[in-house]
Structure 1
Amino acid sequence: MANESISKAETGGSLVQETAEKSATTTSMSNKIEAANTDDSRDGAPAYEYDRLAERKLRNKIDLMIMPTTCLLYLFCFIDRANIGNARIAGMDVELGMKGFDYNATLSMFYVSYIIFELPSNVVCKIVGPGWFIPFLTVMFGICSVGCGFVQTTQQMMGVRFLLGMFEAGMMPGVAYYLSRWYRRSELTFRMGLYLVTGPVAGAFGALLAGAILNLDSFGAAKGWRMIFAIEGVVTIGLGVIGFFTLTDRPETARWLSDDEKRLCEERLRSERLGATKVLDKLDKKKLVLGMFNPMVISTSVIFLFCNITVQGLGFFLPTIVGSIHADKTVIQKQLFTVPPYIVGSIVTLIIPLLSWRWDRRQIFMIVTAPMGITGYIIFLATTNQTARYAATFLITSSAFYLGALTNSQVSANVVSDTARTSAIGLNVLFGNIGGLISTWSFLPFDAPNYPIGNGLNLGVQMGTLTIATIMLFWMKRNNAARDRREAEELEKIRDMTREEQEDLDWKHPSFRWRS
């Protein structure tokens, strides 16, 4: 690759600079070298210099080859998860004889299996490789979605939803981990935003699709609400099969990258990983534990738990809530009224990660946008005016959906090794789905039509997000200052450690600094 200069530092009690240069006559000297992140060397991450034009071309190529398939797979993952809400207002609960809390229990079965298989699934993803594992999961939960269209009892629906959760458990953490194999810390938030924006897009598109499907007479043996599951499941299976051919597992195996591009891709990732000798390390129990028992990972995971009480609650109950606001509308009209809030949420889910990428900051955005959600739920609790309550749904979708991208990239930014990143992202999503489980019991039948309990709970978690994010921002700054004061003394203590032993310290390394 023309005009590329790479500077790497490895920590072994002191930083050692190694520079490799490769030049060509076709590129002007003025464009050669620029610092990628001038403050990285201060916190122990190696200073890294390279040709910005070459790096931009590489990033654009990765975007083109990786993101479209990733986004499509996650879009239908979310559709297959949340389409039960659309099926409900189309008569599913009546036909299956659901009474009392049956619908809530059916939703819960999905999250029970999701939580059980969350961390194991992400460990298997690292072992097998996400380029193979993610398409496999897609095919399997597509089959489960089709199965939902042919159940005859509530108990059968619960069983199939349990299997759906088992296979979907690995999708969100798996895709987040997969993208961390390709993108730098600052770039990762926006790319996660690109695939997580498919969540609110799925809410809007899923409602439109459900409305269109319900206009059909039948799909094979499926009729009515059953067609929603059957048709969307078949599409998911087809996309999963395509994914086997389009998802490249890692830069090393990418046929569409030149040798120089592969090297640049690896070196720019390794430059941010303190003392790392390779981007993809071997599975290590100690690093797995450090990835989970990390103050920033745990606190951020709690924020994602709070976030999912709102996000998953919207996915399952927004059609019901909108239906109660617009009780005089037809079923299809009720479906369509859920679309605009999701569209606004989708736009914000792109804007916030884009700003995060520009400034390489995540925590501050968790803080400044929380008041929108707080305001939305105060409106739900304070008035029964239909217009005001419908407007509140826009505030809520604008404050919630983007947190999936920010929290996953934040835990990724605050660990070092690939193994620790696997467990950190897995824990974050596990907590998120505990929130999803809680959300299934947030809007109860006796609480209708205004749902003060569900809305009060969501107001509380929005305030919890604001509180925790603010406290942890100040804690990071204070802890980093303390690490600055102790660094020389602590480095002296680890001088005799081998490089492998120093790598095993991960975020406990004296030169590590928290990233806000």
Structure 2
Amino acid sequence: MSTISGVNNSMSASTEKVVDVLEVPDKPELGRFESESRKGTTLEAGADALSAKPAFALLPEEIQGSLRKTEGFDAELTWTRREERWVTVNTDLCVLIPVFLVFVFLALDRSNVANALTDNFLKDLHITQNELNNAVLLGNAAIGLFDIPSNILAKRFGPNRYLPLLVLAWGAVTVGQAFITNKAQLYVCRFLVGAFEAGAIPGYAYYLLRFYRDREIASRYAYFWSANIFASAIGGLLSLGILKLRGTHGRAGWSYLFIIYGTITIAVALFALAWLPDSAVSASRGTFARLWYTPRQASILTTRVLLDDPEKSEEIHAAPLSRAEIFVTLTDWRLWTLVLCAAATAVLYSPINTYSLLLIKSLGFRGYTANGLAVPGFVLSIVWSIVMGILINRHGRHAFYVAITNIGAVIGLLWISLVPRNKAAQYIGILWLLTFNISAVGVIGAWTAHVVPARQRAVALALTVSFNNLASLGGSQVLRSSDAPRYKHGLWALSGTCTAGAILAGVAHLALRHRRRGR
């Protein structure tokens, strides 16, 4: 049964036929056959190929009518597996990598304060660690406040146009952050960065869904969200050189950090604005269309994506979200079990991102060296994220991997807080913790997309990410200066939230197990 009654030509006018947000129709597989030799086509004799016709024939007539009107869709199309692989590779290169790059600089701009801490940032601004926590809290509050409204606007105006403008805005604020001199200015800048960053992560996560089939998205989300981890790794390495500029032209090293990151962010925003199309359906109309796909490749992309999920058709997506659809999404209790799981898991992110470098520095390493020593942990986290994404693409089991990641984080937290003060042992514990910090967020994003239909995903993803950031409000206050240098009480509290995240993963699995998207 379709989640939205009237997935047809009149859907844009339908606001009263919305039913359960998580009931999704089973979708037929694309028809498989052994092709014959076809003169004038790309199909090779005996090649294993795919045909759109069998899957299209099983769709309701109203959906067939809608898809036939979609530019690039061809119900009679056949293509080889090799062609499909090339289309997927092109999409990874032309969509996933640019979006990954945007996320890298989002993460750098959000977390650059952590690197600035190793360059006397607190002393230069005459603020305390707790006041810095308040600044981080303000940024996360802004993200939580504006996530859902921003994502609704992204869907209304097109994520390829709206989101790069947000990137441009926070890049400009990041540059301005280089010239702050006191606590009040820091508070204003962090709030503005958070306000403009709001909607970017769920917005680009929703954007990626427009180009991939359901069974392909978990690994792509793993790469996408690993940008956050990658930024932490290269942020430490870049800062080794940038912070050494301290004293150049009378400016602090952290000032150059903000200037360089913000300037590159602005350049990335302008590139994204010119490069990215709205969806798979409009890929052939992008500014650099000829660099993306041939006409045949564009047709393969459009046909395979829309047969996997007809609700991704441009005609249906052109209709703004109705209040009824938003209300149904926000009030579905089963979806909320997943949102709460995401929130409990996310409490860990902010304090570990902010203070992992200080934890390493407290072992006796100099500031520059501490940044470099964190890199192996970030690399391990990226590897774990990608491995989970690949396994989920093949076997599913989102809840299992979320629970395992939370349990891994608990082990790391208890290790750091309870193991005797030995430099090598503590460092290994920090690397272990960094491996499991953040790595579950891509899995949770893929899980959300897996159980929510196309038109509700923009709101559902924004809701999940919003509560991630609201959870960070509490997380940013967990590690207090009075608990330094080992932060035992704070680490124990975080182990409790991670335990709750593992348990809630099981609860969400039970609540959603009958409402999975057809495969």
Decide: shared fold, TM above 0.5: yes
Q: Structure 2: how far apart are the matches of 1:128 and 1:275?
A: 18
1:48-78 Cα deviation digits (max 9, x unpaired) = 9964333222211111111221111110110
Greater Cα shift, 71-80 or 365-374: 365-374
SS of structure 2 residue aligned to 1:33:
strand
Change (3 A) 1:17 1:236: closer
**Letter of the aligned partner of 2:325 in structure 1?**
K
- Residue 16 and residue 397 in structure 1: after superposition, are their counterparts in 2 closer, same or farther (change >3 A)? closer
Q: In 2, distance between residues paired with 1:53 and 1:173? A: 32
Deviates more, 1:370-379 or 1:384-393: 384-393
Where 2:348 maps in the other structure, the secondary structure is helix
Which amino acid in 2 is paired with 1:285? R
Q: For 1:441, what is the secondary structure of its paired residue?
A: coil
Decide whether aligned partners of structure 1 residues 15 and 296 sit closer, same or farther in structure 2, where only a CA change above 3 A counts.
Answer: closer
Q: Who is 1:458 aligned against?
A: 494
Q: Would you say the 8 A contact 2:125–2:182 is kept in 1?
A: yes
Structure 2 vs 1, CA of residues 245 and 177 (structure 1 numbering), >3 Å: closer, same or farther? Answer: same
Note if contact 2:27-2:308 (Cα within 8 Å) is conserved in structure 1. no
Matching residue's letter, 2:327: V
Question: Does the 8 A contact of 2:405 with 2:440 survive in 1?
Answer: no
Moved more, 406-415 or 352-361: 352-361
For 2:471, give the aligned amino acid.
G
Match of 1:330 among 363, 366, 380: 366
Residue 18 of structure 1, CA deviation: 13
Asked if 1 retains the 8 angstrom alpha-carbon contact of 2:334 and 2:511, the reply is no
Q: 2:462 is matched with which residue?
A: 426
Task: Report the Cα offset of residue 16 of structure 1.
Answer: 11
2:245 aligned counterpart, secondary structure: coil
Say which SS state the counterpart of residue 450 (structure 1) adopts.
coil
Specify the alignment match of 1:507 in structure 2.
none
Asked whether the 8 Å contact 2:450–2:516 carries over to 1, the reply is: no
Moved more, 53-62 or 187-196: 53-62
**What is the CA-CA distance between 1:404 and the residue it aligns to?**
1.6
The amino acid that maps onto 1:401 is: I
Q: Structure 1, residues 468-494: CA drift from partner, whole Å, max 9, x if none?
A: 1123323444xx2xxxxxxxxxxxxxx
Indicate whether 1:362 and 2:379 are aligned. Answer: no
Alpha carbons of structure 1 residues 105 and 394: separation in structure 2 relative to 1, 3 Å: same
Q: Aligned equivalents of 1:465 and 1:36: distance in 2?
A: 44
- Pick from 161, 166, 173: which aligns with 2:190? 161
Change (3 A) 1:362 1:187: same
Assess, with a 3 A threshold, how the Cα gap between structure 1 residues 460 and 322 changes in structure 2: closer, same or farther. same
Alignment partner of 2:430 out of 359, 369, 393: 393
What do the CA deviations read for 1:207-263 (whole angstroms, capped 9, x no partner)? 111111022255667432211111111111111112222222222332233454444
Query: In 2, are the aligned partners of 1:279 and 1:417 still within 8 Å (CA)?
Result: no
- Structure 1 residue ranges without an equivalent (≥5): 1-9, 481-511
- 1:441 corresponds to 2:477: yes
Amino acid at match of 2:425: A
Secondary structure (helix, strand or coil) at the match of 1:282 reads coil
Q: 2:48 aligns with which of 15, 31, 35?
A: 31
> What is aligned with 1:107?
136
Name the residue aligned to 2:201: 172
| Unaligned ranges ≥5, structure 2 | 1-6, 9-16, 18-24, 65-74, 284-288
> How far did 1:430 drift?
0.4
Q: Tell me which of 109, 119, 122 is aligned to 2:151.
A: 122
The alignment status of 1:315 with 2:332, answered yes or no, reads no
- Offset, 1:364: 2.3
Q: Give the drift of 1:275.
A: 7.4
Question: CA 1:253/1:276 → structure 2, altered by over 3 Å: closer, same or farther?
Answer: closer
Q: What SS class does the counterpart of residue 317 from structure 2 fall into?
A: coil
C-alpha deviation, 1:323, in angstroms: 1.8
* Greater Cα offset, 48-57 or 102-111: 48-57
Question: Structure 1 residues 414, 220: closer, same or farther in 2, change over 3 A?
Answer: farther
**Partner letter of residue 31 of structure 1?**
D
- What is the aligned counterpart of 2:327 among 289, 294, 305? 289
Count of matched residue positions in the alignment of Structure 1 and Structure 2: 466
Over aligned residue pairs, what C-alpha RMSD do you find? 3.3
Cα offset, 1:287, TM superposition: 2.0
User: Do the aligned residues in 2 keep the contact of 1:150 with 1:222 (CA within 8 Å)?
Assistant: no
SS in 2 for 1:215: helix
Q: 1:18 & 1:453 partners in 2: Cα distance?
A: 52
Aligned counterpart in structure 1 of residue 165 of structure 2, from 119, 136, 143: 136
CA deviation digits over 1:13-40, x for unaligned, max 9? x9999999999434235423379999xx
Q: 2:91 aligns with which of 44, 54, 62?
A: 62
The answer to whether structure 1 residue 376 and structure 2 residue 412 are counterparts is yes
- Name the CA distance, whole Å, in 1 between partners of 2:151 and 2:144: 12
The alpha-carbon distance between structure 1 residues 259 and 288, as it changes in their structure 2 partners (threshold 3 A), is: farther
Return the alpha-carbon distance in structure 2 between the equivalents of residues 397 and 332 of structure 1: 18
- Give the whole-Å Cα distance in 2 for the aligned partners of 1:436 and 1:367: 19
Partner in structure 2 of residue 204 of structure 1: 233
Aligned twin of 2:343: 305
Q: CA deviation at 1:267?
A: 3.6
Measure, in 2, the Cα distance between the counterparts of 1:266 and 1:475: 33
Q: Residue 386 of structure 2 is aligned with which of 350, 353, 369?
A: 350
Q: Deviation at 1:513?
A: 4.1
Once residues 145 and 447 of structure 2 are traced to their aligned partners in structure 1, the CA distance between those partners, rounded to angstroms, is 23
Task: Give, as a single letter, the amino acid of the residue that structure 1 aligns with 2:458.
Answer: T
Q: Is 1:414 aligned to 2:414, yes or no?
A: no
The equivalent of 2:72 in structure 1 is: none
Contact kept in structure 2, 1:251 and 1:257, CA below 8 Å: no
- Displacement of 1:416 in angstroms is 1.3
Q: Residues 394 and 297 (structure 1 numbering): CA distance in 2 closer, same or farther, change over 3 Å?
A: farther
The structural deviation recorded for 1:168 is 0.7
Letter in 2 for 1:114: I
Identity rate, percent: 21
Q: 2:22 maps to which residue?
A: none
